Amino acid sequence: MKRLLLATVAFAALSAPAMAADLATKYPVKAVAVVPVFSWTGFYIGANVGYGGDKFTFDEVESYYGYPYYANSTSLNSSGFFAGGQIGYNYQFANNVVLGVETDLQWSGIEGKEDYSSVYVYGGYPYTSSYGASVDYFGTIRARIGYAFDRFLPYITGGAAYGKTKISSSYAGDGFGSLSASATNWGWTVGGGVEYAITNNWTFKTEYLYVDLGSTDYAYADGYGYYSYAGTVDTKFHTLKAGVNYKF
């Protein structure tokens, strides 16, 4: 009995290290692939197309022999398509706030025109008048700030705006003539949009901007000192556009 007990103790003592070694053995674990997080940081270039318009306001004063005679204010309904391109840079912070700067330039077909017909009280002869204004091109230089939800980026934006406006004003039937003028004006813009990264390089965006290009002055004189008129045109409009960008 004593020999059996000693044999059992000896077997247990010899088996313990082997079991401990088995328990200490580590088996390799397959690593889980880490999906990289998208970043908005980088330069980009793209193209856009959109539609815009609002009311262009003419404020005009007619004068006879240098004395103001009649003041008139006319609002034109304006609308039209535009297309252009943009270039910019974004930087995404660790807290997902995205700051950026963008400049764009668009060819524009935004224009408005109105014709009026009437009869002079004195003399009883008819006359017609017309007013027209258009935006040949416009561009912006803006800051952007947004918050990134991975590939989805809502943002607000604002900055400077510039553009070339053309105006025309004429009177027919009274011999007072017509005029046309153009000017490149600076103003301001504000708006917002959303952008989505389709791939790591291509993004799609929609954007709203309100653009104020300020006022353009114009004047006409008949050359004889009899009749003249002068005025200003306020060029302000809303835009809605869609665009694509390639991010480097």
Q: What is the pLDDT of residue 224?
A: 74
> How many other β-carbons are positioned within 10 Å of the β-carbon of residue 78?
21
Measure the CA–CA gap between 169 and 52, rounded to whole angstroms.
Answer: 23
When the pLDDT of each residue in the chain is averaged and rounded to a whole number, the result is: 83
Which amino acid appears at position 145 of this protein?
A: I
**Contact call for residues 65 and 113 (beta carbons, < 8 A):** no
Q: Up-side HSE of residue 212: CA atoms within 13 Å toward CB?
A: 8
Residue 79 exposed, middle or buried by CB count within 10 Å (0-12, 13-18, 19+)? middle
Task: Find the mean pLDDT for residues 205-215.
Answer: 97
Between 240 and 74, the more confident residue is: 240
Give yes or no for residue 20 having a pLDDT over 50: no
What's the structural domain count of the chain?
Answer: 1
Task: Find the mean pLDDT for residues 178-201.
Answer: 94
The residue segments making up the domain with residue 24 are: 3-247
What are 109's two structure tokens?
Answer: 């077909």
Of the candidate ranges 14-18, 82-86, 109-113, 146-150, the one whose mean pLDDT is the lowest = 14-18
Percent of the chain topping pLDDT 90: 53
Q: CATH number of the domain that 158 lies in?
A: 2.40.160.20
- Can you give the pTM of this predicted structure? 0.78
Give yes or no for residue 148 having a pLDDT over 70: yes
CA distances from 148 to 45, 90, 95, 117, 222 (A): 19, 11, 9, 56, 60
Q: What is the pLDDT of residue 113?
A: 86
Confidence of residue 4 (pLDDT cuts 50, 70, 90): very low
